Structure 1
């Protein structure tokens, strides 16, 4: 099984490397894990990225933010239906609509009614004329000031509307409740129980030589993104090794400290259609019966120089991770294809 799984992972990595500077692909089938790389880290030394190469994972970060909420809710340090305003500085103006306030669950399921981006960020993101982080000015002060002038697009809880602003505010609010910063929150609540030592916001000197260099496109390197106090929306960096530990917890239920949080994160759901829904942090859909009716739970990510995907099937204990160091070149399709291939093989008994 390991040889075939490794072949499939390498084939997907090679396919992605045709359009990316470098990629790493991890495939998980029950207790077997294979990680393969292709292309270059982009660091100028010709190295092929591998299991311990750090990539910006962009919006995959949102699943960590939501899991931190689930863990805090599981032990009574927060509540899913708790209003966002309760976790922000006294006097912070938080919009509502039809008398319904934004709750923490609304933020984690993208049903808050908040817009996709903070006020003042849309134009820099659309133009993207600079290689620098367009979110660098998103300090807590700026976010909360803009929040007071933000109008909700829908009644909280009624409609799915993907929001970086909502996820960033959730990370900020949870860190305030925990009395720490976002990076420390994720390290303590999630990474430490799972032994994930390379999932960070800030890269220290000991890790810097293992970082992939981000690219807007092949031949055009870009500077890293940090996202300031919007960190909960997409500031984490991680490795294939760490993300394998992360998805295996999703497949197996995780250690005792996280098991209830993982269960809760998937028990909560908001239906987007007859076949698609959103859990706390994760997107999910079930394929058409002609495609095997397989369950796929996933999230992707993208920053100024990176693309990422994490997807899994908890019913068959399968997972796929794809990390690339080139922006605007989605890794989603090949990653979904690999996950579906593993699901089909499992269904046919070839794994």
Structure 2
């Protein structure tokens, strides 16, 4: 399921395939387009956000214009916290969740540029203390596996290892007791744990905490004024609070503000929309800071956007995966991006390199997928003439598909999935387990399943028109898997 180019000819081919994403691609973009009307996007955000019951949101749009000043449009709506009524402004800081992974991957690639790390060398060369439940995987797992979500390490290990600067060191030790989700490189499964482990590699190679390394290598050189990793830093800004709802009810303030510090490299950056777009500019220009200083080699920027792994589910986030980036194609144009979800906060980030165009939406509750779908379509169609791929919807005519081979229980760290016979058809029951369950308003959910094609079904988020695929497949060695919510979950019974 995954491609793992080695140093030499294969890496050169990866870079050559990706050159269209970075550097010169932005130089030809934006010159023929009318200026972005910031007032229009403020009106659109204000009109759409209430429709999707979103308490607060921040929208940013960036377009590079060769020889002229970049265009930046910002909009803000609603409140940061329904309990306090604090107004959302364009300088408000939201949690960007898993968009953090692309930032962590960028610092990893800086270390590759500096000759301190090889993508295909065993991590054990940097972390000789690394222990995994699968001893052979511990010997062979590489940084490329981590950045492409193909390590097989169970990804939803949210163990809180404390607030100390040694939290990632302790978290790495916890992985010794975590079962391997799938064989190394055998398939793709979204892996938060892998990025926490990548953060620990950054610490070992820089001699600094992940938080310090991010500030010194990215935040400060990019001139980011409203980007944070720690809650005490959030207190210095207008910070959003997440809102959650059960079964489509009105959103209410989440009981917890942030995930444990040990999840930092996978999802704890908070930022304003403008700061996220400054990070987008780094990649649109092939690795350059605003003043022209090189923070990342053009080769590494291109390699990050190149195709490195295939996905069992191409209907949710992308068609394939890069080094940190999700990859998709809209109207024949390559797009890179990432989403982020924490406790009641969701972020959406898309970059269209051919047009030098990027957009980010930061939200704090409600039907954020619906809002993002509406705004993303308007932005990229209106500003670039590029229409995003339509969201998943069930076919108008029923599809005949046999669910019998898929009935049973599927299980991994943090989640138990059951495919059941319901009165009106098959049902998917999901149960959050472990530390994350206590942070959710409804840890057990049931979804009626609608067939899309043989071995692929769709379920709908309650109270929304947002559909998610449920994909059943087997590894070449015969093990059965259910792919849902970006995760591959093995059949357990």
Question: What TM-score do the two structures reach when normalised by structure 2?
Answer: 0.60
User: Is the Cα contact below 8 Å between 1:9 and 1:27 reproduced in 2?
Assistant: no
SS across alignment from 1:312: strand
Q: 1:151: which partner in 2? A: 179
SS across alignment from 1:40: strand
1:250 partnered with 2:283: yes
Q: Which has the higher contact order (CA 8 A, sep 6+)?
A: 1
Deviation (angstroms), 1:175: 1.5
Deviation (angstroms), 1:263: 2.8
Deviation (angstroms), 1:172: 1.9
Q: 1:219–1:318: structure 2 CA closer, same or farther, 3 Å change rule?
A: same
Deviation (angstroms), 1:112: 0.8
Structure 2: distance between partners of 1:293 and 1:206: 40
Cα deviation per residue 1:279-329 (whole Å; 9 max; x = unaligned)? Answer: 111101113xxxx22222111111112110111111111111000112774
1:111 partnered with 2:150: yes
Q: 2:385: which partner in 1? A: 345
Moved more, 154-163 or 332-341: 332-341
Q: 2:323: which partner in 1? A: 280
Q: 1:93: which partner in 2? A: 131
1:51 partnered with 2:90: yes
Q: 1:22: which partner in 2? A: 56
Q: 1:36: which partner in 2? A: 75
The Cα RMSD (Å) is 2.8
Gaps of 5+ in 2: 1-33, 65-69, 246-250, 388-493
Larger radius of gyration: 2
User: Is the Cα contact below 8 Å between 2:82 and 2:253 reproduced in 1?
Assistant: no
User: Is the Cα contact below 8 Å between 2:130 and 2:138 reproduced in 1?
Assistant: no
User: Is the Cα contact below 8 Å between 1:37 and 1:50 reproduced in 2?
Assistant: yes
Q: 1:132: which partner in 2? A: none
Deviation (angstroms), 1:257: 2.1
1:210 partnered with 2:238: yes
Cα deviation per residue 1:76-126 (whole Å; 9 max; x = unaligned)? Answer: 1211112222333x44313355797110111011111112212xx5xxxxx
Structure 2: distance between partners of 1:223 and 1:92: 31
Deviation (angstroms), 1:223: 3.1
SS across alignment from 2:73: strand
Q: 1:38–1:252: structure 2 CA closer, same or farther, 3 Å change rule?
A: same
Q: 1:129: which partner in 2? A: none
Moved more, 257-266 or 301-310: 257-266
Q: How many pairs does the alignment contain?
A: 327
Q: 1:222: which partner in 2? A: 255
Q: 1:236: which partner in 2? A: 269
Q: 1:312: which partner in 2? A: 351
Q: 1:176–1:328: structure 2 CA closer, same or farther, 3 Å change rule?
A: farther
SS across alignment from 1:320: strand
Structure 2: distance between partners of 1:45 and 1:2: 37
| Aligned residue runs from structure 1 range 167-206, under 5 A | 167-204=195-232
Q: 1:10–1:284: structure 2 CA closer, same or farther, 3 Å change rule?
A: farther
Q: 1:9–1:35: structure 2 CA closer, same or farther, 3 Å change rule?
A: same
Cα deviation per residue 1:202-259 (whole Å; 9 max; x = unaligned)? Answer: 2446853411222224332433214222211111111112111111122222231224
User: Is the Cα contact below 8 Å between 2:307 and 2:320 reproduced in 1?
Assistant: no
